[in-house]
Amino acid sequence: MKNHYIDNERFEEIILSYQQDPENHEEELVSLFDVLIQNIIETFKFNVDPDDAKQECFTLVLRTVKNFKPRKGSAFNYFTTVIINNLKLLYTREKKYAKKIETYIDRHKDDLI
C-alpha cells in the first residue's frame, strides 16, 4: 500500500542526507517526491498530460534539491511551490501551443482541404 502522506521532518532529513550522499538516499527521496508530485497533480487537477508533467516535475525537483536549506522554510512548502509553479508553466505552455495550432488551422483551413 502506498503512503499518501509526507512527514515534513522526515522529508527534510532525507533531503539533507541526499545532499550529503545522493547514492544511498536517492531511492527514498524519489519515493517521497513521487508521492508529493502525484498528490499535487491529482489535487489541483491541472489540465496537462500527467505522465509528462510528472517527469518534468521530477527533473526540476532533482535539479533544485541541492538548493534547499531548512532554515529558509519547510521542505514540504518549498517543493510544493516549485512543483505547482512548474505545473502552471506547463499548463500555460500547452494552452498557448494549442491556441497557436488552432489559429494556424483556422487561417489555413482552405489549404488543408
Among residues 90, 92, 81, the alpha carbon closest in space to that of 50 is found at 90
> What residue ranges in the chain does DSSP mark as E strands?
none
Q: Nine-digit cell at 80?
A: 510544493
Residue 59 sits in which domain range? 8-112
Distance between CA atoms of 58 and 63, rounded to whole angstroms? 8
pLDDT 10s digits, 54-113? 999 999 999 999 999 999 899 999 999 999 999 999 888 877 877 888 888 888 877 766
Does residue 55 belong to any structural domain of this protein? yes
Does residue 3 belong to any structural domain of this protein? no
Among residues 10, 51, 21, 48, the alpha carbon closest in space to that of 34 is found at 51
CATH of residue 16's domain is 1.10.1740
pTM over 0.75: yes
pLDDT for 113:
62
pLDDT 10s digits, 90-105? 888 877 877 888 888 8
The answer to whether residues 46 and 91 touch, using CB atoms and an 8 Å cutoff, is: yes
Report helix, strand or coil for 83.
helix
